[in-house]
Amino acid sequence: MTRIAVLQMTAGIDPEANAAAIESAITQAKAGGAVMLFTPEMSGMLDRDRARAARSISAEADDPVLNRVREAAAREGLWVALGSLALDNGDGSWANRSLVVNGQGEIVARYDKIHMFDVDLDSGESWRESRTYRAGERVVTVETPVGRLGLTVCYDLRFPAFFEALGRAHCDVIAIPAAFTVPTGEAHWHVLQRARAIEASAFVVAAAQVGTHEDGRSTYGHSLVVDPWGEVRLDLGDGGATLGFADIDSTRIDEVRRQIPSLANRREIAN
């Protein structure tokens, strides 16, 4: 058994305040026996006002939230899967970037969100992530204390071919940090998370944003840990920001893959 911690946040528009919340969670996660902390999408700042947000967007090397997380990770000797940060690419575009920081404070993996959230909901919410963010182009996995970790961000959840690629990479755990809207969360969050865990025969760790944010948006919460059989091992609900713990059992992965070897049974399908 390997213990992890999952941070559910109500991130605001002030990066310093968000960084302080993550630093506190790193300390609590270590004290609680975790070897790795998972945080949500846009952990550093959640602000739909692009002009205001631009004043706080930095290049990766200069990002104050990332630097504070690296320092805290090194101080506590804890790995951190930093769900994502908005970072400046230096060409007028931003990246929605997930980063993995090891227990020495070193960045060991980077993944830029591939699937852009461009939607119009019947609730009246409209989002055009592609207007500001440059999409990533490659699948990323990394060896961690919880096994081989596959990186995704939020809207990636809806694209099964992406998770098939992570399954072929034999991921033990897949991180799906998110800032899901309330209408889409109520309809699809749990069923999609469980389906992706089953398809990849892997644990899914989905740290999420929750509640009403300073920029006026509302997010669904319900940060989850789902095992390879599709059983929910942790659900942090929608009551607010909190820290939860769960155990990643590698024998459970082996057990499920032995019973239903869907990854080994996969066949190419001709068009």
- Output DSSP code: residue 13: S
Rounded to an integer, the average pLDDT of 81-106 is 95
Q: Are 69 and 23 in contact (CB under 8 A)?
A: yes
- As annotated, the active-site residues are 41, 113, 154
Say how far apart CA 70 and CA 67 lie, in whole Å.
Answer: 5
Residues 247, 168: Cα–Cα separation, whole Å: 24
In the structure encoding, which two tokens stand for residue 186, read together? 């109520």
Which CATH number is 2-263 given?
3.60.110.10
- pTM attached to this predicted model: 0.94
So what's the pLDDT on residue 222?
98
Q: Within 13 Å, how many C-alpha atoms sit on residue 158's CB side?
A: 16
Among the listed residues 88, 23, 106, 8, the one whose alpha carbon sits nearest the alpha carbon of residue 50: 88
So what's the pLDDT on residue 124?
Answer: 58
Indicate if the pLDDT at residue 130 is higher than 80.
no
Q: What distance in Å separates the CA atoms of residue 247 and residue 110, rounded to the nearest whole number?
A: 24
